[in-house]
Amino acid sequence: MTENENVIDASTVGESESAAQSTAAESKTATEDKKTTCKTGNGAMWLAIILLIAVSIGGIVILYKRLDMVENRLFANLKTVEASNSPKVTDSESDSRLVAKIVALENKDQDFSKKIEKILATQKNFISIEQSANKESKRLNDLKTDFATFKENLATVPQSLELESKKLNLLRDDFSSLEKKLKALQEEQAKAKAKNLGLLKARPVIKTGIRQAEILGNLKQAALLFQEAAVILRDAKDPRNALAEQKLVQISQNLQKAYIPDVMQINSIFDDLLPKVNQLTFLGGKIAAKKPKKASKADDLSASGVVNTIWSDVRSLVKISKDESEYKAVTSNEARQSYRAILRLKLEQARFMAHTSNQAEYENSINAARMLTEKFFDNTNSKVTNFTKSLEEAAKVKVTTEDVTDQLQIAREIIK
């Protein structure tokens, strides 16, 4: 009965070993299938992984059940051996056989332990494979997400291309318009060079200088304008303008050297002479004072300033001119006032002619005032002689600006 049980145990152990081997083979086959399916495609890979995990779990469960059965049988065999080792048993051969069987069972138990360890190691490998599979799954999900994003971006590519195409067309249009403008500018520059751009810029300045000298008589300002025009021609760096530049410089220098009457000096001469008219002494000495007459209506109407003086002077002249003998000794107060007024008028006339640069009329007015002074005033009086000398000095003053007509004509020829 014991030997049969041992035979059954041995067969059971053999079956468990074959089951373990078949499980290991199945796991290896599943592993290889997994590798091949991973290569073929993601769906096959996941199917192989699931099958592998199911097979491995099933093999482990079977192994654990077989181990439990083997353990139970080993405990039963040990109890039988203990019972056979009792003092009642005397057969030594049966004892040795039992001992050999026990040793064989222990060896098989060790082999089973090693196989179990291998199975546990394989289980660890399965766990690492599962972790790798999880990583690959995550990576696959990331790839799917990236692919979806790429697909969305790819859908917007035609719109972006269309927008960029429009921008490119606009840039081409702008570039074309810029090319046209550049070409127009180049043509204008070529025309400007042909038309002498420097002279075009200098022409209005030269015209202004001519007006200043000819109409306003401002030679200093005209000289500055001609100098500015020469600088414009020099900056243009056109060989055609070299002669015109030299002429303008020469005109500017000549105008700066030209004589210009000193208006302040002329005004000071007459401001000094006019107050002295009332201090001059007439021929014939002093006149006795008379009672003042009542002013007439005509005198009242012309009783303001210079108008009254001129009016009375004109009336006196008409009255005095009847008797030529009165020019030597003036004994009437009205006549003396008239001659003083006439003298002042001649001086004012000379001042006006000086301001208008009329040299001939200026000299005529001064000479008329001098002759009037010598004829009706006491030339033995120091004030009268000094007044006459001042008139002679005033007659020598040049009141006309130097003639620059030839210089202005040269300037006109430049801008033709």
Per-residue pLDDT at 333 exceeds 70: yes
Residue 72 shares a structural domain with residue 209? no
Mean of the pLDDT values across residues 108-131? 79
Q: What is the pLDDT of residues 385-408, one digit of tens each?
A: 999 999 999 888 888 877 888 898
Please tell me whether the overall predicted TM-score, pTM, comes out greater than 0.75 for this model: no
Residue 130 shares a structural domain with residue 17? yes
Residue 146 shares a structural domain with residue 222? no
Percent of the chain with pLDDT over 70: 73
Per-residue pLDDT at 288 exceeds 80: no
Q: Answer whether residue 165 is part of any domain.
A: no
Per-residue pLDDT at 298 exceeds 60: no
Taking residue 279's Cβ as centre, other Cβ atoms within 10 Å add up to 11
pLDDT band at 327 (very low <50, low <70, confident <90, very high): very low
Q: Answer whether residue 84 is part of any domain.
A: yes
Residue 6 confidence (pLDDT): 44
Residue 240 shares a structural domain with residue 309? no
Which one, of 267, 174, 257, 269, lies nearest residue 219 by Cα? 257
Residue 91 confidence (pLDDT): 57
Residue 315 shares a structural domain with residue 233? no
Q: Inter-axis angle of helices 333-355 and 305-320, to 10 degrees?
A: 120
Residue 249 shares a structural domain with residue 333? no
Residue 238 confidence (pLDDT): 87
Beta-carbon contacts of 9 under 8 Å, excluding residues fewer than 6 positions away, are 70, 73, 74, 77, 105
Q: Which range in 37-41, 102-106, 121-125, 223-227 is most confidently predicted, on average pLDDT?
A: 223-227
pLDDT band at 347 (very low <50, low <70, confident <90, very high): very high
Beta-carbon contacts of 224 under 8 Å, excluding residues fewer than 6 positions away, are 252
Q: Answer whether residue 186 is part of any domain.
A: no
Q: Answer whether residue 171 is part of any domain.
A: no
Q: How many domains does the chain have?
A: 3
Distance CA 230, CA 207 (A): 13
pLDDT band at 8 (very low <50, low <70, confident <90, very high): very low
Q: Answer whether residue 369 is part of any domain.
A: yes
Mean of the pLDDT values across residues 241-257? 90
Mean of the pLDDT values across residues 64-68? 75
Mean of the pLDDT values across residues 156-183? 84
End position of a domain, from candidates 159, 186, 209: 159
Q: Answer whether residue 209 is part of any domain.
A: yes
Residue 282 shares a structural domain with residue 250? no
Residue 217 shares a structural domain with residue 268? no
Q: What is the pLDDT of residues 178-228, one digit of tens each?
A: 888 888 887 776 665 556 788 888 999 999 999 988 887 788 899 999 999
pLDDT band at 307 (very low <50, low <70, confident <90, very high): very low
Contact 378, 364 (CB under 8 A): no
Residue 146 shares a structural domain with residue 119? yes
Residue 21 shares a structural domain with residue 72? yes
Q: Answer whether residue 206 is part of any domain.
A: yes
Mean of the pLDDT values across residues 248-267? 86
Residue 148 shares a structural domain with residue 220? no
3-state DSSP call for residue 282?
strand
Residue 345 shares a structural domain with residue 239? no
Contact 277, 337 (CB under 8 A): no
Joined together, the tokens standing for residue 115 give 């196989």
Q: Answer whether residue 168 is part of any domain.
A: no
Q: What are phi and psi of 156, to 5 degrees?
A: -85, -10
Average pLDDT score over the chain? 76
Domain that holds residue 226: 197-259+406-414
Mean of the pLDDT values across residues 272-298? 67
